[in-house]
Every structure is written in structure tokens, then in C-alpha cells.
Structure 1
């Protein structure tokens, strides 16, 4: 067996309609299709699946998604205008050689923590 890549990333939600609007409108991700219990979005080469958990065990587990953007400050301001709730402000995480890594964390409508990140050449 050889794992080639990640096929999709699942995000548990409590209210599918509210979460779909957030990921579509506030984050600007294209909706691929949806069902009564799931919504699928395109994010570059990845597919995100918002899902009403099938079992109680899956209700509170989520990974932090780091959405890569070219200009973290502009994206931060645009998303703030869309009423996205940020935990902090864009900040420098690391500087390696001629690259700076910047991040900022926010909540989606379902209480999951997500992030924006930019890698800038200096």
C-alpha cells in the first residue's frame, strides 16, 4: 500500500446551511456539490467536506486548516469586513533564510479554529 495524497479533508459542523454559507461566501471557496448532510468545496487541489457527524464520536474532532493566501494582511481585512471572527492579528511565526511565514487564526461558524498563512520572500 502506498498513500499518494490526501483525497479530502472532513470538517464536522453543527449547522450545515450556516457553515456552507460561511465557507462559500466568507472564505470564497467554490461549492462543488452538496447533499442533505454534506457540502463539498474545492480548495486548490484539495477537496473540503463539511459534514453533519454520522456518530457522536465525530462531533468535536477537527484539524486546523491553514489556508494559503498571497497577502495575509489584505485577506485578513477582507474577511474581517465579512464579519469573520479572528482570534488574533496577522503575525510573524518564523523567518528562515529569505522567507517569512505569517499566520492568523479565526473561528468558522461551527466553532472550529482555522488559519490563514502566507510565506513571503524578503
Structure 2
């Protein structure tokens, strides 16, 4: 395995409606579109490619977001299904996960295709 490059290069997510899913991930979530090649759409997840494709199996993605509570309010107003409101998951007082944070909170939503999507926020 290479040293400096990210280990995760790409993750695929199943979609039923490619146009609808592309709009959800790029406009609703605000992620940058990399490219579209026929039935394949690539979105940038901060250096990891998200492949949206009808033939892909479902995946459970966890996306780090700033201001988790505010993001959930924004998504709620956009009509996104909130499955689970933000709640604290873990307190990392020993730096086990190597972040510059102490508390990890998570919330869960459904994307435009019905896939469960985890949103993760960190705070000191």
C-alpha cells in the first residue's frame, strides 16, 4: 500500500435515478461534481471519489460535516428525511482516533434513493 496517497480511492453507492441522486449529492449536500460518463457519476468526497451507479450495491457512507446541528436543520428544510437527530456517539479523551476533537456526534438521513447516510460532527 502506498504511503502518502489516501488509502480509500473510491466508494460506490447504488442509485435508482442517476439524475435525482446527482442533484442530491451535488446540490442538496453541496459536494463537487467530478465528472459524468454515461451511467456513471463521480462526486468528490474530499479526495475520495463517490461513484453513483445503478449497478452498484448499497453502501453506508459516513460524511464529516462542520456544524452538524445546522446542517441537519438545513437538510430538514430542504425536505430530506432525518432518520436520527444528532447525538453524541463517543468521547475520545485519549486521542484514540487521532483527531483534534473530543466528542463525535452522528446523525442519519436518507438520500434521494433511500440509502441511509451518516453525518458526523466533531467538537472539543
Q: Please, which of 110, 119, 122 is the counterpart of residue 119 of structure 1?
A: 122
Partner residue in 1 for 2:23:
21
Partner residue in 1 for 2:69:
73
1:18-47 Cα shifts (integer Å, max 9, x gaps)? 111111111101111112211111111111
- Determine the C-alpha separation between the residues in 1 that align with 2:54 and 2:58: 13
TM superposition shift of 1:116: 0.7
Partner residue in 2 for 1:31:
33
Matched position secondary structure for 2:27: helix
Q: Which runs of 4+ in 1 moved over 3 A?
A: none
- Determine the C-alpha separation between the residues in 2 that align with 1:14 and 1:3: 34
- Determine the C-alpha separation between the residues in 2 that align with 1:89 and 1:113: 13
TM superposition shift of 1:95: 1.4
| Structure 1: stretches of 5+ with no match in the other structure | none
TM superposition shift of 1:81: 1.5
TM superposition shift of 1:8: 0.6
Provide TM-score, normalisation by structure 2: 0.85
Q: How many positions carry a matched residue from both structures?
A: 114
- Determine the C-alpha separation between the residues in 2 that align with 1:108 and 1:46: 19
